[in-house]
Amino acid sequence: MAVETIRIAGISKPVSRVGLGTWAIGGSMWGGSNDDESIATLHAALERGINLIDTAPVYGFGHSEEVVGKALVGRRDKAIIATKVALDWDDAGRVTRNSTPERIRKEIEDSLRRLQTDYIDLYQVHWPDKLVAIEETARTLEDLYREGKFLALGVSNYSPSQMDKFRGVAPLATLQPPLNLFERGTTETELLPYAKYHQLVVLAYGAICRGLLSGRMDPQTTFGEGDLRSFDPKFQPPRFGQYLAAVEELKAFAHQRYGKSVMALALRWVLDSGPTIALWGARRPQQLEGVEDVYGWQLNADDMRDIDAILNKHIPEPLGAEFMAPPHRA
């Protein structure tokens, strides 16, 4: 089955509509990772036609970018690298937002070194920083764009009004918000319409909701110390049981109606929601099995209504991804 692609302004190559998310590859907050397995996963993704690799300095405090850089030696031309900027951390691993020009200029040089490349395809502001004017952040990044440091510019976790301020200074090509069957919120009601109107591409992070929509979890699934799912409220009782019940019914729906897995259904839902790319987090090659089942079919209006009915039945009070927001600096 042919890989579905989309165009991002400023990037000449078609971009796969399923991208590889590499937060878990960084190791921290996911119970660790194995670099050899991670590199094999990145190679497997490229072999399966996934050419968008989404990473960030804060993923493992540089480690994810380093692993991506090692994996792409000799393969740089096959990949579209998306990384981020404007988070800082201290020696204890405490993360805060930092969009100062000094931080941005330091981060891009550090990212280029770790990624072993002389340019980044898509550079994204990870979170807005209330202590720095959005226009100042945009000016700094516009200068770096003119210096040839990256090809396209995006933002992550920005509101429409914040993007309006940014776009008044520098052009935006993408936005990256949380979006999956379980976490919709303002992404569905505000950001997708904004992207459609302004012809931006949406990189949807958390497309399988931190593995919840993989179909591989059950009530006995546990998460070790340091795994962010150990404090994600969706994975705590009684809510975990509610979400698992919804997954089981979605699993039956996907199989009966399309002969697909619940994971393929979850990713297809993201792709059918707008000008979107679904970011699929993986750190082992076998986790990429089934990506071909995402392509070549579509959900219709009846499917969307039936899916919503399943969710409303099992999850009376859905939760968003707000728990992941890093604090502002003091």
| Active site residue ranges | 59
Q: CB of 170 within 8 A of CB of 139?
A: yes
Contacts 24+ apart (CB under 8 A), 228-232: 228/29, 228/30, 228/324, 231/323, 232/323
Nearest to 104 by CA among 76, 134, 77: 134
Which helix (H) or strand (E) covers residue 278, if one does? strand 276-281
Cα-based torsion angle of the residue sequence 55, 231, 322, 198 in order, rounded to the nearest 10 degrees:
30
Q: CB of 6 within 8 A of CB of 201?
A: yes
Nearest to 203 by CA among 49, 79, 19: 19
Q: Label the pairing between strands 15-16 and 5-6.
A: antiparallel
**Cis bond upstream, residue 285 (ω within 30):** no
CA distance 176 to 193: 14
Burial of 294 (0-12, 13-18, 19+ CB in 10 A): buried
Under DSSP, the state recorded for 244 is H
Cα-based torsion angle of the residue sequence 299, 45, 15, 68 in order, rounded to the nearest 10 degrees:
140
